[in-house]
Chains A and B, each alone.
Chain A
Amino acid sequence: MLWLCIRLPALVHEANAASERAALERLAAWAYQWTSWVSYRLSAEAPQDLGLPPAPLLWLELGAGRSLFGEPTALLAQIAAALTHLGYSHTCALAPSPTAAALLTRVSEQRCTLTRAQLRARLTPLPLSLLELPAATVTALRAAGLRCIGELLALPAAALARRFGPEICLYLARLTAQVSDPRPAWRLPPVYRARCEFGQDLHETGMLLFSLQRLLLEFQGYLRARDCAVQRFTLELEHPRRPVTTLTIGLCAPTRAAAQFLLLARERLHELALPAPVRALALTAGEFTAAAIGQIDGFSNQTQQLDELGQLLDRLRARLGENAVRGIGWQADHRPERAWAQTDFAPEPHPPRAPAAAATASLAAAYNDAACSDAPARPCALLASPQPLAAPPQLLTGPERIESGWWDGTDARRDYYIARTADNARLWIFRDRREGRWYLHGLWV
């Protein structure tokens, strides 16, 4: 076993024990992407009379994933860089036992030991004050003439146990990885909820972005750890003495890329007018789906196109609103305004490509349909509602009679004509047979 211990002194400044625990659990969930054994200790749980400022600790077992992640020292560098990116000041140490790793986070250099022998050699010159033993014990050891940990380790265990009690022997055995040193394994929660409290009230959405980015990066770590993705998550902005503002962010396809989350969340925040200052920010996600496995198709860029289109739709919806992005469809009705409908646009994979010649021929055939087939001609542009015309312009063809809809209360009895204006624009107009008035209904664009 090989334990990475991360000391996070900055978290102590979090307002209280509850928020320190929340921050630690967020990081624990984030760290789960590299290991299946994460444990933590709050600063309040550290031995009291240690004479050192207590700090929360996070342990990750790295030995088991060695074949997956490569050399632990390289992984350590990667994790440290990710932590710096998240904006946490930290000290990391690597040792065969969690107790030793915790001790090594308090020394200034050479904090990585991979084997028991290396650990013993590293501990030997260190001062007794680093040991997590009661202050009285350390004073007594000093009085006995001991100065460094190496001298203490050289003493016979039985004599030490008689003088100071059996606890010190157990502690030293755990420190040197001679006996097992169990740590409670923290488990991933089934529902993700991360909350981050600000020390002060924030008045602008722009000021939320740093914390938001951190929350989303930690969320990405959690999703990686569970090997899943989300299609929807919720951001809650908490205000003093006001109900929370909730933003639900939906995506076209399940994803776990923090950069994409941030892009969408930023658009939504940009649009948002804050009703009150923000005191805390929370992120919740409850529905997880299997992550789409990115397969590389050597012959087409179809999957990539779908992804890109999905991301475009997400961006458009985030900024313009859910209903701003629509598709169109065909409906069976004789009334022109009811022969079409808005639809929900969903990216669809492209069917296998037809031979080029056939495609072009069918294209040309379809294109000729309007002119050659028996289907009545319809313009590509329809007005949202028919516009009254004072007098009809020059009529070219017609009439085409449409009588329909007496059963649903929007009875239409019209004669349609194609007409031409003075500047040669072609119009699709009709005469209402009940009123006798002319209306403009479409344009031959």
Chain B
Amino acid sequence: MAAVRPSVLAHAATLERLAQLCRRTEDGGRQGAIVTGYRELDALLPRGGWPLGSIVELLSAATGVGELSLLLPALCHLAQTGRTIVWIAPPYVPYAPALALRGLPLERVLIIHTRSTQESLWAAEQALRCPAVGAALGWPAQIVDKNLRRLQLAAEAGGSLGILHRPAEAAAEASPAALRLQLQGLADGLRLHILKARGGRGGLQWHWRRSDVVAVHSFAGAGA
């Protein structure tokens, strides 16, 4: 038995490697990920972070549960490497003093005002397609499958992160997005439910305690 074990381990390693390769080709291969800033969340996501070059859907019944705070470390990182963060028709004023305090360079923040859903979609597609854009954030009231696919292709072309904030009911619809997360506000933070993760496992949950800073500290340790 003792002689067999190493070869079994080698097989397992080979299989794991093959599975990884398959996942990577499925994903288009070239695009990496950007760490979320929360080590526990990174561990749950297939590529170890927010998948660049794809669409991420955040589904939430309420605004103000911490949906942006979840993204901010990654957005800051993208902006600090010189890429622009584009906000397409945000339903609120992105508040400059708070964003700057949290480390987002304001000169990399671009706000686009639109007059219709059609214009918002067009602007999102243009922004995602541009390699100088790190992430584009959208709040589509309604979006059909065809348009989601267009955005997905644009994000793939630009290597950018497309974030769509959608209502909780959208969970029932199928979507071509690479990552779909259901957010639910809790008294002490946020519960995050992975509905779909392309190239990984769905159904995982993460409880983010917003008041504690353990996750943020461990992020600092990981980066150093």
Given contacts A308-B131, A363-B80, A367-B37, contact A423 B62 (CB under 8 A): yes
* Nearest CB of A to B79, in Å: 10
B216 touches A367 (CB 8 A): yes
B187 touches A327 (CB 8 A): no
* Nearest CB of B to A174, in Å: 57
Which residues on A sit within 8 Å (CB–CB) of B73? Answer: 363-364, 367
* Nearest CB of A to B39, in Å: 12
Q: What residue of chain A has the Cβ atom nearest to residue B108's Cβ?
A: A348
B92 touches A381 (CB 8 A): yes
* A84 to B109 Cα, complex, angstroms: 45
Which residues on B sit within 8 Å (CB–CB) of A427? Answer: 64
A420 an interface residue at 8 Å Cβ cutoff? yes
B40 an interface residue at 8 Å Cβ cutoff? no
* Nearest CB of A to B188, in Å: 9
A425 touches B185 (CB 8 A): yes
Interface residues on B, range: 35 or more
B107 touches A327 (CB 8 A): yes
* Nearest CB of A to B132, in Å: 4
Residue in A361, A380, A381 whose Cβ sees the most chain B Cβ within 10 Å: A380
Stretch in A211-219, A233-241, A309-317 touching the partner: A309-317
Q: Mark B70-93, 1 if CB is under 8 A from A, else 0.
A: 001100110011111000001011
Which residues on A sit within 8 Å (CB–CB) of B63? Answer: 381, 425, 443, 445
A330 touches B187 (CB 8 A): no
Q: What residue of chain A has the Cβ atom nearest to residue B84's Cβ?
A: A309
Tell me which of A309, A368, A379 contacts B213 (CB under 8 A): A368
* A340 to B27 Cα, complex, angstroms: 40
B213 touches A442 (CB 8 A): no
Stretch in A351-359, A408-416, A430-438 touching the partner: A351-359
A192 an interface residue at 8 Å Cβ cutoff? no
Q: What residue of chain A has the Cβ atom nearest to residue B95's Cβ?
A: A382
A383 touches B113 (CB 8 A): no
The dominant DSSP class at the B interface is: mixed
A372 touches B213 (CB 8 A): yes
Which residues on A sit within 8 Å (CB–CB) of B37? Answer: 364, 367
Which residues on A sit within 8 Å (CB–CB) of B66? Answer: 426, 444-445
* Nearest CB of B to A437, in Å: 21
A200 an interface residue at 8 Å Cβ cutoff? no
Name B112-153 residues within 8 Å CB distance of A. 112-115, 119, 122-123, 126-127, 130-133
Which residues on A sit within 8 Å (CB–CB) of B133? Answer: 309, 312
* Nearest CB of A to B105, in Å: 9
A375 an interface residue at 8 Å Cβ cutoff? yes
* A367 to B36 Cα, complex, angstroms: 13
* Nearest CB of A to B64, in Å: 4
B96 touches A329 (CB 8 A): yes
Q: What residue of chain A has the Cβ atom nearest to residue B129's Cβ?
A: A312
* A366 to B220 Cα, complex, angstroms: 11
- For A, the interface residue count at a CB cutoff of 8 angstroms equals 67
A320 an interface residue at 8 Å Cβ cutoff? yes
Which residues on B sit within 8 Å (CB–CB) of A345? Answer: 110-111
Which residues on B sit within 8 Å (CB–CB) of A341? Answer: 96
* A319 to B114 Cα, complex, angstroms: 10
B17 an interface residue at 8 Å Cβ cutoff? no
Given contacts A340-B96, A382-B93, contact A370 B102 (CB under 8 A): yes
Which residues on B sit within 8 Å (CB–CB) of A445? Answer: 63-69, 92
* Nearest CB of B to A252, in Å: 12
* Nearest CB of B to A332, in Å: 10
A371 an interface residue at 8 Å Cβ cutoff? yes
A383 touches B93 (CB 8 A): yes
* Nearest CB of A to B7, in Å: 39
B95 touches A364 (CB 8 A): no
Q: What residue of chain A has the Cβ atom nearest to residue B123's Cβ?
A: A316
B101 an interface residue at 8 Å Cβ cutoff? yes
A443 touches B224 (CB 8 A): no
A364 touches B97 (CB 8 A): no
A282 an interface residue at 8 Å Cβ cutoff? no
* Nearest CB of B to A422, in Å: 9
B101 touches A366 (CB 8 A): yes
A424 touches B110 (CB 8 A): no
* Nearest CB of A to B119, in Å: 6
* A367 to B99 Cα, complex, angstroms: 9
* Nearest CB of B to A77, in Å: 35
Q: What residue of chain A has the Cβ atom nearest to residue B188's Cβ?
A: A424
Which residues on B sit within 8 Å (CB–CB) of A360? Answer: 77, 219-220, 223-224
A366 touches B107 (CB 8 A): no
* A353 to B130 Cα, complex, angstroms: 21
* A324 to B111 Cα, complex, angstroms: 8
Q: What residue of chain A has the Cβ atom nearest to residue B68's Cβ?
A: A445
B126 touches A330 (CB 8 A): no
B80 touches A359 (CB 8 A): yes
B186 an interface residue at 8 Å Cβ cutoff? yes
A308 touches B130 (CB 8 A): yes
A369 an interface residue at 8 Å Cβ cutoff? yes
Tell me which of B84, B98, B223 contacts A364 (CB under 8 A): B223
Which residues on A sit within 8 Å (CB–CB) of B84? Answer: 309, 347
Which residues on A sit within 8 Å (CB–CB) of B80? Answer: 354, 359, 363
Given contacts A330-B100, A348-B107, A381-B64, contact A367 B72 (CB under 8 A): yes
Between A and B, 9 residue pairs with Cβ closer than 8 Å are A305-B131, A308-B130, A309-B132, A327-B107, A328-B94, A339-B97, A381-B93, A426-B185, A444-B64
| Interface residues in chain B, defined as those with a beta carbon under 8 Å from any beta carbon in chain A | 37, 61-69, 72-73, 76-77, 80-84, 90, 92-103, 106-107, 109-115, 119, 122-123, 126-127, 130-133, 184-187, 213, 216-217, 219-220, 223-224
Known A421-B62, A442-B92; 8 more pairs at CB < 8 Å = A305-B82, A320-B114, A324-B114, A339-B96, A342-B111, A356-B223, A367-B72, A383-B92
Q: Which A-B residue pairs are the 4 nearest by beta carbons?
A: A360-B223, A424-B185, A350-B82, A366-B103
